[in-house]
Amino acid sequence: MTTDKDRAATSGPTSEGTTSDVPGDAELARSLDGDFRSEHITVNGLRLHHVAGGSGRPLILLPGFPQTWWEFRKVMPALAAAGRRVIAVDLPGMGGSDKPATGYDKKTIAKVIHDFARALGHDQVDVAGHDIGSIVAFSLAVNHPELVRKVALLDVVHPDESMYQIRMLPTPGFPFHPWWFAFNQVPDLPEKLLAGRTRHLVDWMFDSFLVDRDAVDDFDRAVFAQRLDSPEAIFGAKAYYATFGQDIEDLKTYGKVTAPVLGLVSNLGDGLFAAQMQATLPGQATDVKVVVVPEAGHYFLEEAPRFVVDQFTHFFD
């Protein structure tokens, strides 16, 4: 196990595709209220970036697409102040973590996070994941029940065979068209199309799935776009989608999650996300509570941070 602090400043694309200065992760961590620090740790040959602060029972936070640990910036200080050791980690392929060529199925990634927690000295942790991070959190809980005390799944459930029924073209009036699911299956092309242009993708995702678009401002979008703006990072992001087929097959071998599960879900798509989670989770876990986040979109960590903190505090305590 090795650790080192990340202090490098970086730069990234603006919405016009030019380059502007964006702070490094160490500076971003220091900008949060509380004593948060940006560090790396090498686990199973992978150098993983994480930002941690506070003391108490550990809570590991797993981000989603197209974001990094920075998506938890609005909830981390309050969770730490409430008596938590808060650890937001960039998954492999994401942000400041290594970007391997293989190993993006969620069962493999869950093993990495299991070993990450162990390397930090934790025998048992609470876990919360959003979007892709939610799928990893589920896989972690079902494959490593001895590690996970409680788990919160934010807005996304584990892929199952119903994913194969998603229409390629949107049906008139159908509120949800996840074109990027298919786009990220294509070999090589996303890296060529997006490199130097990731701000356009980042803006589209937030503008399409936020109720309040200002909840993720220009600075935050620049941070996310910069972290995504390399062929390796684009490959890592898309690889989480390209391995959905393996995830679906793995799900068939799983039993139920025995740890208590909190499902936090937006009401996007005229309730499509909420209905899916309410229908799915009770069959995948033994102790489930699903809560709809009011008046917020998919990125509700940014839109409704106080609501999320309150739900986490009640659930995890």
Q: What is the pLDDT of residues 110-132, one digit of tens each?
A: 999 999 999 999 999 999 999 99
- What backbone phi and psi angles, to 5 degrees, belong to 114? -55, -50
User: Which of 1 and 72 is assigned the larger pLDDT?
Assistant: 72
CB count in 10 Å sphere of residue 310: 12
Sequence-separated (6 or more) residues with CB below 8 Å from residue 120: 41, 58, 87
pLDDT tens per residue, range 137-160: 999 999 999 999 999 999 999 999
CA distance 74 to 211: 17
- pLDDT value of position 181: 95
Position 167 scores a pLDDT of 81
CA distance 167 to 53: 43
In degrees, rounded to 5, the angle at the alpha carbon of residue 86 between the alpha carbons of residues 2 and 201 is 85
Among 52-66, 96-110, 174-188, 283-297, the least confident range: 174-188
User: What is the Cα–Cα distance from 317 to 309, expressed in whole angstroms?
Assistant: 12
Write the burial class of residue 2 (CB in 10 Å: 0-12 exposed, 13-18 middle, 19+ buried).
exposed
How many C-beta neighbours within 10 Å does residue 287 have?
13
Check residue 163 and give its pLDDT: 92
| pLDDT > 50? residue 314 | yes
The predicted structure's pLDDT at residue 175: 65
pLDDT tens-digit series, residues 13-56: 443 443 458 999 999 999 999 999 999 999 999 999 999 999 99
**CATH number among 3.40.50.300, 3.90.1170.50, 3.40.50.10860, 3.40.50.1820, domain 3-316:** 3.40.50.1820
pLDDT value at residue 171: 79
What is the pLDDT, as a whole number, of residue 268?
84
Question: Average pLDDT over the chain, rounded to whole?
Answer: 92
Question: Where residue 9 falls among pLDDT bands split at 50, 70, 90?
Answer: very low
Residue that has been written with the tokens 């903190």 in this structure: 309
What pLDDT does 6 receive?
A: 38
Question: Which residue ranges make up each domain of the chain?
Answer: 3-316
Q: How confident is the model at residue 309 (pLDDT cuts 50, 70, 90)?
A: very high
